[in-house]
Amino acid sequence: MAKDKALVELLYTLADDDFILAYRGSEWLGLAPHIEEDVAYSSINQDMMGHAAKYYQILEELGEGDADELSHLRSPDKFRNAVLLEEKNGEGTYLEQPNYDWAFAVVRNYFYSIHKKVRLESLRKSNYEPLSDAAKKISIELQYHLMHWETWFKQLMMSSDEAKRRMGEAVEHCWNEMDGIISLGPFADEMVEKGYVASEASMREKWLDHMKKTFEQIGAELPGELGMTKGNGRQGEHTEDLTQALKTLSEVYETNPAAGW
Amino acid sequence: MTGIESKQLVDSVYQVLQHVTDPEIDSVSIIDLGMIEHVEMSGSAATVSVLPTFTGCPALDIIQRDIVNAVIEVDGVEEVEVIFPSKPIWTTDRITDQGKEQLKEFGISPPPANHTPGEPWEIPCPYCGSLYTTMENLFGPTACRCILYCRSCKNPFEAMKPVANIGDE
pLDDT at site B169: 46
Residue of A nearest to B140 (CA): A39
Please calculate the CA angle B62-A250-A42 and round it to the nearest 5 degrees.
55
For residue A72, give Cα distances in angstroms to A28, A54, A134, B15, B27.
Answer: 20, 15, 22, 41, 37
Name residues 223-242 of chain A within 8 A of B (Cβ): none
CB contact under 8 A, A48 and B87: no
Contact state of A140 with B118 under an 8 Å Cβ cutoff: no
**Shortest CB distance from B118 goes to which of A50, A125, A143?**
A143
What does the pLDDT profile of chain A (261 residues) look like in tens digits? 557 999 999 999 999 999 999 999 999 999 999 999 999 999 999 999 999 999 999 999 999 999 999 999 999 999 999 999 999 999 999 889 999 999 999 999 999 999 999 999 999 999 999 999 999 999 999 999 999 999 999 999 999 999 999 999 999 999 999 999 999 999 999 999 999 999 999 999 999 999 999 999 999 999 999 999 999 999 999 999 999 999 999 988 888 877 765
How far A258 CA sits from the closest chain B CA (Å)?
16
Terminal alpha carbon distance of chain A: 34
Q: B89 touching A, CB under 8 A?
A: yes
Inform me whether the pLDDT recorded for B115 exceeds 80.
no
Under an 8 A CB cutoff, do A147 and B117 touch? no
**CB distance A50–B138 less than 8 Å?**
no
Mean pLDDT of the region B11-30: 94
Instruction: Report CB contact under 8 Å: B169, A143.
Output: no
Q: Quote the ipTM score.
A: 0.87
Chain B residues with CB under 8 Å of A39 CB are 137, 139-141, 147
- Contacts for A133 with CB less than 8 Å, ≥ 6 apart: B86, B87
Return the half-sphere exposure (C-beta side, CA atoms, 13 A cut-off) of residue A23. 25
Q: Please choose, from the candidates B93, B30, B34, the residue with its C-alpha nearest in 3D space to the C-alpha of residue B64.
A: B30
Cβ density class A191-227: b for 16+ within 10 Å, e for less: bbebebbbebeebbebbbebbeebbeeeebeebeebe
- Which residue from B87, B140, B141 is facing A133, i.e. has the nearest CB? B87
* 3 state DSSP class of B48: strand
Contact by Cβ (8 Å): A43, A59: no
Dihedrals phi, psi of A92, to nearest 5 degrees: 80, -175
Sign for the pseudo-dihedral over CA of B30, B36, B41, B45: negative
pTM of the model as a whole: 0.93
| CB atoms A40 and B139 under 8 Å | yes
Q: What is the DSSP letter of B111?
A: P
For position B98, what pLDDT does the model report?
94
Residue A216 to chain B, least CA–CA distance (Å)? 21
Tell if the CB–CB gap between A136 and B166 is shorter than 8 Å. Answer: yes
Residues 6+ apart with CB under 8 A from B107: B126, B127, B157, B158
pLDDT, tens digit, 9 for 90 and up, residues B131-163? 999 989 999 988 889 999 999 999 999 999 888
Residues of chain A positioned with their CB less than 8 A from the CB of B54? 47, 50, 141
B143 part of contact set with chain A, CB < 8 Å: yes
Partners of residue B79 on adjacent β-strands: B45
- Record: contact A136-B89, CB cut-off 8 A: yes
Confidence category of residue B52, pLDDT binned at 50, 70, 90: very high
pLDDT band with cut points at 50, 70 and 90 for residue B5:
confident
Q: Is the Cβ–Cβ distance between A72 and A249 less than 8 Å?
A: yes
With a cut of 50, say whether residue B26 has pLDDT above it. yes
| Percent above pLDDT 70 for chain B | 96
Question: Rounded to 10 degrees, what is the CA torsion of B58, B59, B62, B63?
Answer: -140
**Nearest CB neighbour to A36, from listed B137, B161, B163:** B137
∠ CA B105-B108-B114, rounded to 5°: 115
The CA distance from B88 to the nearest CA of chain A, in Å, is 9
Give the closest of A125, A139, A141 to B54, CB-based: A141
Do residues B59 and B23 make contact, with C-beta atoms less than 8 angstroms apart? yes
